A and B are shown apart, each in its own frame.
Chain A
Amino acid sequence: MKATFPYFGFDTYALKSFVEALGAEVVLPPATSRRTLELGVEHSPELICMPFKITLGNMLEGLERGADTILMAAGARKCRFGYYHYLQKAALVRLGHNQRLVPVSQYSPYGFVFRLMPSLFGVSGTRVLRAVFLMIAKSSMTEEFRKLLNRSRATDFESAERKCRKALALIEQAGTMSEVRECRRELRELFRPNGRRPELRVGMVGEIYFMIEQYANQEIEKELGRLGVEVLFERSLYHHIMHLLRIDPGYARSRRLARRYLRECPGGEAIRTVGEAIHFQESGTVDGIVHVFPFTCMPENMALEGLQQLTADTGIPVLSLSFDEHTSRTGLLTRLEAFVDLLKRKKREQRVSRN
């Protein structure tokens, strides 16, 4: 079996190791590019949200490379994401691709490990379980890598980018538990703190795909790093898996905190977005919040109202960015620069008033 799946930021490599550990060959689509997006947009409904378009483009490019099975996450109930695969399958069939598209439901860990994966790959449940542990270890590593990278970008951008390329090659190669451990050590060595502190910190919250997929969010972490801002985040594949296994303490905290503005979960990740933003604000570690989500995302629009109220109540600056295929990079950079200027001025004023 030659399996392919849409890109998912740096966590793509964790997913790749997972599928490879189940004995399938993985054909990754080429890195998401302008072409991917254009392919996706061409064959998508006009009003659907952006992740649909990018993932469809990824699938088409993966098929061009000779994949015969597509894996696609599914199974959100209140959010459009859970329904993507029906329309994506229809679009693929319309284009004459009759390869298999397997919707991978997220909400039953037991069913995933002991039913879905074994029947798909023809392996035992214990082997799937081992692969899941590998994926957890590796995604926890990529999360740490992203944190280290963001920190080092904010203090020394050029060398961080050089190290990033080297680190990605390391991460891609780590395919067993011991290799992951070794890789983790090397990453920590590579990104040893250089003693400098970043000028500013912002917390990033929002929709998970846009938090993770670097192409979709126009490399916002990198651009903020270039401006000397360290980006903190709490959303990653690792946390998502922990959440699905119902052992994520961060989610419980978000639920508790978000109640201030959203009494019930409107679906998607609205609760997490608001909860994490409040947590960032209360812990005092950040100077501002950046909120990223796809244009017309329903839950995040509800979260946006909550974040605006948070600004009104506490004065923490929030920059909400909604992305679609027409979002221009230049416009985004201008907004980021303006936001960073605002944060700098605010911090200076605070320092002056303290003295």
Chain B
Amino acid sequence: MRIGLPRALLYYRYGRFWEEYLSGLGADVVLSRPTDADLLQRGLAVVSSEVCLPIKIAAGHVLDLADRVDTIFLPRMFSLDDGLYACPKMIGIVDVCRMMLGNRVRLIAPVIKGDLYGPHFRAGLAICRNPFRVAQAISRARAALEEERPEPAFPKGEKRVALIGHFYNTGDGYVADAIIQGFRSRGYRVVCKDDLPQGVLRSRAGFSRNIRWVYERELYNAFVHLKDKVDGACVIVSMGCGPDSLVAEFMREESAQARLPFLQLVIDEHTGMAGLVTRIEAFVELAERSRMKVRAA
């Protein structure tokens, strides 16, 4: 059985888990090709123009798979352990894809509400009838999830910038490579949100307790954790992203208080790379200047 796995959205967090899990079930995992302009164009044509870039990209990936496979695995991440929610679009994308594909392609979409493994077990039975094999596949795949990242080191004298953005934006080369390269080529080390250990990202301390979107809480926690360790913070927001428009604002306020250079890059399908590079250059210069001021003081 060939099962398609779109290389979009949650793939950048649970991708390895799903690959292991599906191959453990004896399925042939077919990944969609890495994002490119053509894929994005296909996505743009099918979803409403107002949704955010990652959703448009995800629609493109699903369409890409629909040509090649007859079953697509697209779990619906609803809420996780402690009563948090994914954003409405991430919940809704499954329905959008179902409507888009019609009866052409079978969609396996376990609904994950709190418990990660139960829905995977039930969905697994639809692929492979043997419950023992499903359980085994899940327990093997778990190893891919439970790997703990160590806290990155922050040596003195190094120039660093915090890149605060969702894993599906920073992980997607098509979207974020230009930004990351922009900083690296100017001698900055880029510390992404997802380089931090899970414990930091999931913290409930301080204001982050009030943020009920699971991935936005991570953004905020990462920002708070990194703000006194870096020379500047760059936040990537997709145009039309609801939660980010709020959380970025909280971060902007805190940066202003901490006098940390703050850059908010709003990206969508019209974003020009030249424009981004100019903004990064200006931001780097600002960061240099504020470093000098700090040293002088």
Contact = CB atoms under 8 A, between A and B. Distances in A.
Q: Do A and B assemble together?
A: yes
B237 interface: yes
A80 B242 contact: yes
Interface residues of A, number: 35
Contacts of B246: 45, 48, 80, 83, 87
Interface residues of B, number: 37
Contacts of B98: 263
Contacts of A60: none
A301 B89 contact: yes
Contacts of B212: 77-78, 82
Interface in B5-48: 47-48
A268 interface: yes
Nearest to A47: B245
B245 A264 contact: no
Contact of A299 (B78, B88, B248): B88
B74 interface: no
Interface string A35-68: 0000000000101110000000000000000000
B95 A77 contact: no
Contacts of B91: 78, 264-267, 302
Interface string B234-253: 00010111111110111011
Interface in B89-116: 89, 91-92, 94-96, 98-99, 111
Name which of A267, A299, A301, A322 has the most chain B CB atoms within 10 A of its CB: A301
A45 B245 contact: yes
Given A87-B246, A298-B88, A302-B96, A264 B50 contact: no
Given A264-B111, A295-B50, A296-B50, A270 B249 contact: no
A82 B244 CA distance: 14
A339 interface: no
Interface string A228-272: 000000000000000000000000000000000111111110100
A79 interface: yes
Given A80-B243, A301-B50, A45 B249 contact: yes
A119 interface: no
Contacts, number: 104
Nearest to B55: A301
A63 B266 CA distance: 33
Contacts of B94: 263-264
A79 B88 CA distance: 8
B61 interface: no
Contact of A304 (B48, B240, B245, B248): B48
Contacts of B248: 45, 47
Contact of B48 (A47, A265, A299, A301): A301
B92 A270 contact: yes
B26 to A, nearest CB: 27
B276 interface: no
A86 interface: yes
Contact of B85 (A48, A78, A87): A78
B51 interface: yes
Nearest to A303: B92
Contacts of A90: 253
A304 B240 CA distance: 15
Contacts of B266: 47
B76 interface: yes
Nearest to B76: A264
Given A77-B212, A87-B249, A262-B95, A305 B48 contact: yes
Among all A-B residue pairs, the 6 with the closest Cβ atoms: A302-B92, A47-B245, A266-B92, A298-B88, A266-B88, A267-B88
Given A78-B88, A301-B51, A305-B48, 18 more contacts: A45-B248, A45-B252, A47-B240, A47-B266, A48-B246, A82-B212, A83-B210, A86-B250, A87-B250, A264-B95, A264-B111, A298-B242, A299-B88, A302-B88, A304-B50, A305-B47, A305-B92, A308-B48
28 contacts: A45-B245, A47-B237, A47-B245, A49-B242, A78-B87, A78-B88, A78-B213, A80-B242, A83-B211, A86-B250, A263-B94, A263-B95, A264-B95, A266-B91, A267-B85, A267-B88, A295-B50, A297-B242, A299-B88, A299-B92, A301-B48, A301-B50, A302-B88, A302-B89, A302-B95, A304-B48, A304-B50, A305-B48
Interface of B: 47-48, 50-51, 76, 78, 85, 87-89, 91-92, 94-96, 98-99, 111, 210-213, 237, 239-246, 248-250, 252-253, 266
